[in-house]
Amino acid sequence: MQRTKLFLIRHGETESNSEFRYKGQEESPLSKQGITEAKRLAKALKIVPFKAIYCSTLSRSIDTAKAIAKFHKGLTPMAEEGLMERYYGDFENKTFNELKKEYPKLYKQWLYCPNQAPIPNAETLEQLQARGIKAVNKIIKKHAGETVCIVAHGGINRAILFHFLGLTLDNFFRIKQDNSCLNIIEVDERGPMVALINSTAHLGEKRINFEGRY
C-alpha cells in the first residue's frame, strides 16, 4: 500500500505577526524569534526522509523552508504560487485593532462567521481552498508513496486541513496554526488521514521523534 506523507508547516514568526497585522500576500520578513523557531523546527525534522520541499513564493515561507533544507542534502525548496497566503484585500497590512475601528461589523463577522464575511477586494475562502488543494494534489501525484515537506501559511494551511478533514470553511478558526507548527497528512488508496495538527513540541525543551511516532 503506497502511503504519501505530507508534513504541512506554517512559517516562523514574522514582524507583522508580532504586531498582530494582516499581511496576506504582502512581504513580511521573519523576526528574530521566527528565525529561531525555523532553526528548531529544522533540527526536529532532520531525520525525516523528505523527497522534496515545497513552499509558497513569499519570503517568510521560503526562508523557513531553506532552514529545513539545510539538513537535507540535495534538496532545494521549490516555490509554488498555489501555496501563497490568502489575499486579504482591504484588510491587507492593517492591525487587528485598526480593523475593529474601521470595519467593526465586518470584522466581527469575520471572527464569528468567517466564510460569510465579504472582505472588500479579498480572495474568498473557497478560492483560497481551491488553489491550495490544486497545488497539494499536484504534489501528491508527483510524489506518490513519498514523504514531502510543504511550508505555507496559517490561512491556507487551515483551508487545506479542512478539505482533508471533510469540514466546512465555516469552521475556519476552530483549528489553530501557530508559527512554525507542524501538521501531518497521510494519503493512500483508502483516502486521507490527518495524523497531526498544530504541533509545536519542537519549539520547547521536549522533542517529538517524527520517525513514525507522533
Q: Which three cell numbers stand for residue 8?
A: 504541512
DSSP secondary-structure letter at 54?
A: E
* Alpha helix segments (H runs only) across the chain: 15-18, 32-44, 59-69, 96-102, 104-112, 125-142, 154-165
Active-site entry in 37, 80, 85, 123: 85
Q: Print burial letters for 48-64: b (CB count within 10 Å at least 16), e (below 16).
A: bebebbbbbebbbbbbb
Residue ranges for the known binding site for substrate are 10-17, 60, 85-88
Q: Is 11 a catalytic residue?
A: yes
Active-site entry in 11, 72, 153, 202: 11
Picking from 101, 148, 147, 103, the residue whose alpha carbon sits closest to that of residue 122 is 103
Sequence-distant (6+) residues with CB within 8 A of 194 are 161, 164, 165, 183, 184, 185, 186
Q: Is 85 a catalytic residue?
A: yes
Give helix then strand counts, H and E, for the chain: 7, 6
Residue ranges for the known binding site are 10-17, 60, 85-88
Q: Which three cell numbers stand for residue 188?
A: 493512500
77 C-beta neighbours (distance < 10 Å), count: 22
Catalytic residues: 11, 85
